Structure 1
Amino acid sequence: MQLTYVFSELGNGLKRNVSMSIAVIVTIFVSLTLVGMGLLLNAQAQKAEEYWGSKLQITVFLCNQNSTTANCLNGEVTGPQKDEIEKVLETHPEVASWRLQSKQEAYQKWKSAYVSNDETEQRVYESIKASDMQESYWVQLKNPEKFMGIKSQVSGLEGVNTVRDLREVLKPIYFWMNVMKWGAIGIAGFLVVAAVLQVGNTIRLAAFARRREIGIMRLVGASSLYIQLPFLMESLVAAFIGVALAGGALVAFMYFVIYERLRPTSNIVAWIDWADGVWALGWIALIGLLLTLVPTLVMTRKYLKV
């Protein structure tokens, strides 16, 4: 097989179809970038679930003088009521451990969390005292997925104002992460289809432009692989450039967003790392190869029959 001819036809083919080749590369680049982002978001959601899963607690807020729920009709929680709550926490099979947070501890946490430069808000905050806060039990679970038993039992006890499950706080985060993940993958799916169609159309036009050459090669006994190889090489070049651009975009996202912005400034979750980035790069390289080679092989078998 004369490789000189193959590379010569590769150069000629790229020159003939330069606009179509650019369109294929751009489509592959955008679609694979979105696929990669979807994979990274999926990895991030899994890491967040694993990280928060070991830390998820329920918080039992006790009645204070301002509570108005049905369990707080007598006002501030009493000593016997707290003893009864602690007895349930000690004996319940879903509870691994628990601790009592005092009003002063709650007040200090509140002060550190609610900081404002607005003078009106500052005056409101200054009027709040430690005695206005609620005592609370912070309950660590043996299994983060099993909490309904202890939650329902303590919710009905006298002296319990509310029971907060951290899943209610995290639910919007999980929701929007899933929306972004499936949105990126959905859009990428449409673009992958567009890329496949563009590759097929490029091969069809290239085969039509070279139909006389292909006919002559058939007459002199050239093999199908010898005729197909320039078309396959064109697709590989487009796939390589598209995958390289998409990979560069993912590397830039990992470095500038994850490692430069999020990791140093936030430790509320375990963030994705370079291992996840390499995993996503491997998948987009495989997908990029398949979405160019498969339609090229299919279309060449159809249009190279002269």
Structure 2
Amino acid sequence: MGLSVEYVVRETAGNLWRNRLMSLAAMLTIAVSLALVGSALLLKQGVATSTQAWKGGVQLLIFMQPNATKSQDRAVVTQLQTLPSIEKYFYVDKAVSYQEFRRLFANQPDLLNSVSESQIPPSYRVVLKNPSEAPSIGQIFNGQPGVKAVDYNFAAIQTLEKISSIAQGVIIGLAVILLLSATVLILNVIRVAIFSRRREVMVMKLVGATNWFIRIPFMLEGFTQGLLGALIAAGAVLAIRALFNYLIERFQVHLLSGFVLTSHDVLMTEIVVFVVGVVVGTMGSALAVRRYLEV
């Protein structure tokens, strides 16, 4: 007995409608859990972008004037080489700094359009042997000829990363619990559908229906629930991104000024949301069919 698209769609839609309340509960549970997963991924990506300059153990940033002379630059390098508290340092030129600037302030197009590469200061990024000495070392360079500004906000960066890691852990934990709950809900929805159609299944077997002919509508039911839940979650992810951008712009948090969620970040998050949603829906229905459908 061959399958037809019309038959599969009709049977799947009928099963979903007959158990619409349980199906809706499963879809909403998937949507909430995947929205949490998406939030955790966006948080991780945003924090990674905003703390880009502090990677590799950097505890001190020395921004040079865009028009600093070679002698002024050499004076800074000499101090960096002679100070015993400095473990290592590296130079970031204007071109690289400008690319970072465009990433960090991607949420502020007016600012991007008003600043050219020639206006962006190069910088020295410094790793200290003792991070607690950052303020005192920073004072040595602050106000020095050719130096535009010194930033030693490393402690706040560490705090941000720790808070972010804790928040991500809690969010992912809740999401996993909800995804497991969604899997169980889908399993129960399919079980009820199988039970309500047990006589019909027996008749189909008697007239020669194959195992997959009987199973596919039930499998597609779980797949559909997972897909619809993922669609709702995908919309929530876009809303969460908009909320992040609004809060950062509204409250002008300096530490989060570079909390940028690019279109690529959002796209990858949406892909993860869709894949997880489909996997959860298919897995729940597969477990139910294997356990409760005797064919």
TM-score range, shorter chain: 0.5 to 0.7
Question: Which residue matches 2:129?
Answer: 148
Aligned-residue offset at 1:243: 0.9
The answer as to 2:261 corresponding to 1:272 is yes
- How many residues matched? 232
Cα deviation for residue 52 of structure 1 reads 3.5
Does the C-alpha gap of structure 1 residues 51 and 223 become closer, same or farther in structure 2, counting only changes over 3 Å? Answer: farther
| TM-aligned CA distance change 1:222 to 1:190, over 3 Å | same
Distance 1:181 1:149 in 2: 29
8 Å CA contact retained: 1:38, 1:184: yes
Q: Distance in 1 between matches of 2:183 and 2:239?
A: 26
SS at match of 1:94: strand
Note the C-alpha offset of 1:213. Answer: 0.7
Pair 38,205 (structure 1): closer, same or farther in 2 beyond 3 Å? same
| Residues 16 and 154 of structure 1, relative CA distance in 2, 3 Å threshold | closer
Equivalence for 2:282: 293
Give percent identity, aligned residues only.
Answer: 25
Deviation at 1:178, TM superposition (A): 1.4
For residue 200 of structure 1, report the CA deviation from its aligned partner.
0.9
State the Cα RMSD in Å.
Answer: 3.4
User: What is the letter of the counterpart of residue 13 of structure 2?
Assistant: G
Partner of 2:6: 4
Match of 1:117 in 2: none
The equivalent residue for 1:74 is none
| Pairing of 1:71-90 with structure 2 (within 5 A) | 89-90=80-81
List gaps (5 residues or longer) in structure 2.
Answer: 63-76, 92-122, 141-150
Distance of 1:52 and 1:95 partners within structure 2: 12
Structure 1: distance between partners of 2:6 and 2:216: 12
Amino acid at match of 1:289: V
The residue aligned with 2:88 is 94
- Residue 189 of structure 1 aligns with an amino acid whose one-letter code is V
Correspondent of 1:14 among 13, 16, 23: 16
How far off its partner does 1:190 sit?
0.4
Whether the 8 Å contact between 2:42 and 2:241 is mirrored in structure 1 is no
Aligned to 1:38: 40
1:57 to 41, 53, 60: 60
Structure 1 length normalisation: TM-score?
0.66
Question: In 1, Cα distance between the equivalents of 2:266 and 2:273?
Answer: 11
* TM-score, normalised via structure 2 length: 0.68
In the alignment, which of 130, 149, 167 is matched to residue 180 of structure 1? Answer: 167
CA-CA distance at 1:34 after TM superposition: 0.3
Contact between 2:26 and 2:186, CA under 8 Å: does it hold in 1? yes
Indicate whether 1:224 and 2:215 are aligned: no
Question: Structure 1's 26 and 95: CA in aligned 2 closer, same or farther, altered over 3 A?
Answer: closer
Provide the residue aligned with 1:167 in structure 2.
154
Aligned structure 1 segments of 4 or more residues deviating by more than 3 angstroms = 51-56, 86-90, 149-156, 263-268
Q: Would the aligned equivalents of 1:52 and 1:269 in 2 still touch at CA under 8 Å?
A: no
Distance 1:296 1:269 in 2: 43
Query: What is the alpha-carbon distance in structure 1 between the residues aligned to residue 193 and residue 243 of structure 2?
Result: 40
For residue 221 of structure 1, give the secondary structure of its aligned residue in structure 2.
coil
